[in-house]
Structure 1
Amino acid sequence: MSTGALVVGEALVDEVVTDSTVSRYPGGSPANVALGLARLDVVTRLHTMIGDDSDGELVRRHLADSGVALTPESATDRPTSRAIATVGADGSATYRFALGWEPRRLEALGDPAIIHTGSLGAFLEPGSGVTLDIIRRGRAAGALISFDPNIRPSLIVDADRSREQFTELALASNLTKLSDEDAEFLFPGTSIESVVDRLVDSGIAVVGVTLGSGGAILASGTHRAHIPADAVTVADTVGAGDSFMAALIWSITVEDGGWDGHAVSESRLLAAGTRAARAAAITVSRTGADLPTLSDLRAVSPTR
């Protein structure tokens, strides 16, 4: 019987720089999603690259404390990657990176019900080929596939190639979520509504686009749901999209009786989007990518 989630992609250390402080936190978009799923009581494994160094130990402890298991193949003799996030006065973050992505092939997938990937692990070569191989094998084995491109333009060498990679992974997925910034990079000059329609028409069962303070749009088949953002005092935006993604996966695939991979009703889209927006609001109210637990999420009432 299929169970739990397998997440594929980078794990790293975020150095968060403000005018007055420099703080270090475990991060990486796929690792954050893995942590978010585990904190929502989903049994979760992460396939990544973590070095045998102090940064790697920080990441390992952080993931283990929330119940995320690493695949044995995640160990590497390379340095653990870093992302330097500079936080502006409005709480928004810009990034630069010191990283590599050359994961080992994962021979045995196990039998996960959900496989998620995204961000650098989906686009950065040579490891992007390993990621796509896992997604294709998982889809063929019946896993539900989720994908969040989380584009980092400063790391994209070939924009056209990255758009091809996005298309390959998006068409292999059941659930694809992107930000409005991702949408502009991938589909320049195209309206958000048209991007959503294009992705749904391509056969993706559920599509989401986050719009920052403008909330989000979720779509499935002919159904559309517009999700307002929760009102919250922002500490920083690190991990906000990852928190939304983890809660969306959990809400669609676990809550309300689960999901068969087909079109989702408008009422379920609205419920899932509301939970995901609530999770993102909790995260941005905290410093760093400190994603909510299931009890956190259920204890907070949204403020619209």
Structure 2
Amino acid sequence: MSGSVLCLGEAVIDFIPVMSADGPAYRPCLGGSPYNVARALGRLGVPTEYGCAVSTDLFGDQFVAGLTESRVGQHFLQRLDAPSTLGFVSLDQAEPAYAFFDKGGADRICEDIPSDQALSGVGTLHFGSIALLREPTASAYETLFLREAGGTRLISFDPNIRASLVREEAAYRGRVERLLQAADIIKISSADLDWLYPGLAHDAAASRWLKYRASVVVITHGKDGVSGWSRRGHAHAHAIPVKVVDTVGAGDSFMAGLLASLHENGLLTSATLEDPSTEALGHMLAYGQRVASAVCTKRGANSPWREELLG
């Protein structure tokens, strides 16, 4: 048994630009990278839990309802008397740009991490995004990440860097580097990789991480598809042409599709993931692309259900 996937990190109300009868407006949507991954995994039929904290305010209630609706467990969820994090999204560039309002936010101030005993039913922990940037949550999650690395549970990591939010760049780069060296599954966008290591060839980066702990490294290239590496080979999957409404949550949905494919093929355990074949790589990349392309046809990070993909 692979156990459940526990997604740890921020929940954000994304305000997405829309055109209303009165002109330009913003529509609030449930978001936040690890929260998106959790909901997408639940909809894909993977046993999933969401950790971190959400507010006791009206948005916090919406986050909880969204998890319940997507069949995501909440054993590790905290409710704090603190505001919800808000993020305003700009779609004027090739990639969505964000302005976050999170001072004192519930997902920023939580620092309780589960014990090894509490994690007994968990097989994979997924980390990423601004939860690893903002204190005190960032240090708490790094502690948990490094405590679990190399143990019986898999560690999945998508840095999902928001460079405009980075204030102490040297410290942040050091943290990301430590985590990249300790993760079993790495998914990173080409834009994030180029920010971290300007001029470093993507295959060289993958080779570097495979020499540490990683068994799977995936680099996404937006409209140019996605590439994946294991110690046994390399695979590429093209982007799937769709009528794009927006790309908010596309990377998170791809991440969920990748993990769901590993789960369905019995590879989401420390014993089975060690050396996936090129064929298995190709399958997981293609499935991730199907999930990501589906979310691009909807407003916000509204991932598809497994039944939709089978239809």
Give the structure-2-normalised TM-score: 0.90
Instruction: Answer yes or no: is the 8 Å Cα contact 2:54–2:77 preserved in 1.
Output: no
Shift in Å at residue 169 of structure 1? 1.5
Q: Identify the range of structure 1 (38-47 vs 263-272) with the bigger mean alpha-carbon deviation.
A: 38-47
What CA distance in whole angstroms lies between the structure 2 residues aligned with 1:2 and 1:249?
11
Structure 1 position 244 matched with structure 2 position 254 = yes
SS state at 2:45 partner:
coil
Which residue matches 1:272?
284
SS state at 1:106 partner:
coil
SS state at 1:17 partner:
strand
1:218 corresponds to which letter in structure 2?
G
What CA distance in whole angstroms lies between the structure 1 residues aligned with 2:10 and 2:75?
13
- Residues 158/222 of structure 1: CA separation in 2 closer, same or farther (3 Å cut): farther
What CA distance in whole angstroms lies between the structure 2 residues aligned with 1:164 and 1:118?
15
SS state at 2:265 partner:
helix
Shift in Å at residue 49 of structure 1? 2.0
Shift in Å at residue 125 of structure 1? 2.0
Instruction: Answer yes or no: is the 8 Å Cα contact 1:10–1:29 preserved in 2.
Output: yes
SS state at 1:79 partner:
coil
Shift in Å at residue 64 of structure 1? 1.2
Instruction: Answer yes or no: is the 8 Å Cα contact 2:44–2:260 preserved in 1.
Output: yes
Shift in Å at residue 257 of structure 1? 2.9
SS state at 2:3 partner:
coil
Instruction: Answer yes or no: is the 8 Å Cα contact 1:93–1:237 preserved in 2.
Output: yes
Q: Identify the range of structure 1 (26-35 vs 133-142) with the bigger mean alpha-carbon deviation.
A: 133-142
Aligned ranges for residues 152-231 of structure 1 at < 5 Å?
152-231=162-241
Residues matched between the structures, number: 297
Structure 2 unaligned regions, length at least 5: none
1:15 corresponds to which letter in structure 2?
F
Structure 1 position 42 matched with structure 2 position 61 = no
User: Which residue of the other structure, out of 238, 261, 264, is the alignment partner of 1:255?
Assistant: 264
1:69 corresponds to which letter in structure 2?
G
Output one character per residue of 1:82-115: Cα deviation in whole Å (capped at 9) or x when no partner. Answer: 1111222x77421110114121312333220111
Which residue matches 1:284?
296
Instruction: Answer yes or no: is the 8 Å Cα contact 1:40–1:250 preserved in 2.
Output: yes
Shift in Å at residue 24 of structure 1? 0.5
Output one character per residue of 1:141-191: Cα deviation in whole Å (capped at 9) or x when no partner. Answer: 411110000000111112222221112222221101000111011111222
1:197 corresponds to which letter in structure 2?
S
Which residue matches 1:107?
114
Instruction: Answer yes or no: is the 8 Å Cα contact 1:7–1:46 preserved in 2.
Output: yes
User: Which residue of the other structure, out of 62, 69, 72, is the alignment partner of 2:66?
Assistant: 62
Instruction: Answer yes or no: is the 8 Å Cα contact 2:183–2:213 preserved in 1.
Output: no
Structure 1 position 82 matched with structure 2 position 86 = yes
SS state at 1:67 partner:
coil
- Residues 285/40 of structure 1: CA separation in 2 closer, same or farther (3 Å cut): same
Instruction: Answer yes or no: is the 8 Å Cα contact 1:91–1:235 preserved in 2.
Output: no
Instruction: Answer yes or no: is the 8 Å Cα contact 1:73–1:104 preserved in 2.
Output: no
Instruction: Answer yes or no: is the 8 Å Cα contact 2:52–2:76 preserved in 1.
Output: no
What CA distance in whole angstroms lies between the structure 2 residues aligned with 1:125 and 1:40?
32
Shift in Å at residue 18 of structure 1? 4.0
Q: Identify the range of structure 1 (32-41 vs 13-22) with the bigger mean alpha-carbon deviation.
A: 13-22
2:112 corresponds to which letter in structure 1?
R
Which residue matches 1:12?
12
Give the structure-1-normalised TM-score: 0.92
2:309 corresponds to which letter in structure 1?
L
Structure 1 position 139 matched with structure 2 position 146 = no
Instruction: Answer yes or no: is the 8 Å Cα contact 2:125–2:154 preserved in 1.
Output: yes
Output one character per residue of 1:41-72: Cα deviation in whole Å (capped at 9) or x when no partner. Answer: 12211111211111111111111111122245
Structure 1 unaligned regions, length at least 5: 300-304
Output one character per residue of 1:261-294: Cα deviation in whole Å (capped at 9) or x when no partner. Answer: 3121111000110000110000001111001111
Structure 1 position 53 matched with structure 2 position 57 = yes
1:293 corresponds to which letter in structure 2?
W
Q: Identify the range of structure 1 (71-80 vs 48-57) with the bigger mean alpha-carbon deviation.
A: 71-80
Which residue matches 2:30?
26
Instruction: Answer yes or no: is the 8 Å Cα contact 2:50–2:76 preserved in 1.
Output: no
- Identity over aligned residues, as a percent? 30
